[in-house]
Copies of this chain bind each other. A is one copy, B any other.
Amino acid sequence: MTEQAPARKSTWKQDPEAVKADILRVATAEFADRGLSGARIDEIAAKTSVSKRMIYYYFSDKEGLYRAALEGVYARLRANERALDLTGLDPIAALTELIKATFDSHRSLPDFIRLVMIENIHHAAYMKQSLIIPELNSSIISKLAELCDAGKAAGIFYDHVDPVELHWMISSMSFYNVSNRETFSHSFGAELHTSAGQQRLRQRVVDAVLAIAVKPRPNAPALA
């Protein structure tokens, strides 16, 4: 009887890791869809392959399950950000790529957006309890900081450019684009959320952020 994990697992009928993952998958979708108090433990249990008892067995209580879901989506966003490779690009190109990647990343992770919305409704109470989330937030800022330093050193970025300010601006538009889609579309039409509209918006974000970071150059291309 070997200790090698993969082969042995297949013979197991009980599979705690798979059960935990299954619960977390369903719970994330459910919390994202209905909020912390809106989600129902019974409903989550019904959508998993196991009974409600297992939720309490593995996650203690509703808040424990919610915390696990929150940490999960943060980890996924962080993985996205870490996958972004900007080596070899000049500061302007690098910043452009980072903006586009952030915009796309937010669009592709609606569960992250919605759980962060829900966290803000709860005054970030559960995020503040988490021990693992803080360490996830450094990579994007350090990438931006490097980039800003390079841009300033080359004399093409303004001296006042600040990584956290840049991240705030990039995030705000990337986040709002997803978070407020429903109310915005209903109020002002869905034009901006067509595929062509989203492409245009992304370019506007690039243009706007570059404009506050990059000094005007005499031979720069004018906006289309």
Whether A127 is near chain B, meaning CB under 8 Å from some CB there, is: yes
Across-interface contacts of A188 in B (CB, < 8 A): 137, 141, 164, 167-168
Distance (Å) between the CB of A218 and the closest chain B CB? 9
A183 adjacent to B215 (CB under 8 Å): no
Q: Which of B116, B117, B184, B191 contacts A171 (CB 8 A)?
A: B184
Across-interface contacts of A118 in B (CB, < 8 A): 121
A222 adjacent to B211 (CB under 8 Å): no
Across-interface contacts of A117 in B (CB, < 8 A): 117, 120-121, 179
Across-interface contacts of A180 in B (CB, < 8 A): 116, 120, 171-172, 175
Distance (Å) between the CB of A77 and the closest chain B CB? 11
Residue of B nearest to A74 (CB): B187
Q: Which of B124, B164, B167 contacts A183 (CB 8 A)?
A: B124
Interface residues in chain A, defined as those with a beta carbon under 8 Å from any beta carbon in chain B: 34-38, 114, 116-121, 123-124, 127-128, 133-134, 137, 141, 158, 160, 164-165, 167-169, 171-173, 175-177, 179-189, 191-192, 200-201, 204-205, 207-209, 211-212, 215-216, 222-224
